[in-house]
Amino acid sequence: MKNMSNYCIVIDTSGLRCPLPVLKVRKHLPYLKQNDLALIIADDPLAEIDLRHFCDLKSYTLENVSTEDADEKKYYEIKCKN
């Protein structure tokens, strides 16, 4: 289990399918300040593609993608550039 206290915001999109995960992220990430780190939890196989594209278009960086053996969820760390 990730240490949630390392993140300014945690957005769990488990159970949502494309395009809903990235829409939920887009709604909540504007609250991040420069260098803040957000954790996005997703189980949609297309979420990584959508999140990478979203970060490329906006002022965010996809820092890390990881999985945990116990489930099929992926954990995306997104950092605000400005």
What is the spatial distance between Cα 69 and Cα 48, in angstroms, rounded to a whole number?
Answer: 18
pTM of the predicted model, to two decimals? 0.89
What is the average pLDDT value for the chain, to the nearest integer? 90
In the chain, domain spans: 4-80
Would the pLDDT of 55 be above 70?
yes
Out of 3.30.1360.170, 3.40.1190.20, 3.30.110.40, 3.40.250.10, the CATH code matching 4-80 is 3.30.110.40
The DSSP bridge pattern shows strands 74-80 and 60-67 to be: antiparallel
- Average pLDDT rounded to a whole number, residues 10-38: 93
Q: List residues with catalytic annotation.
A: 18
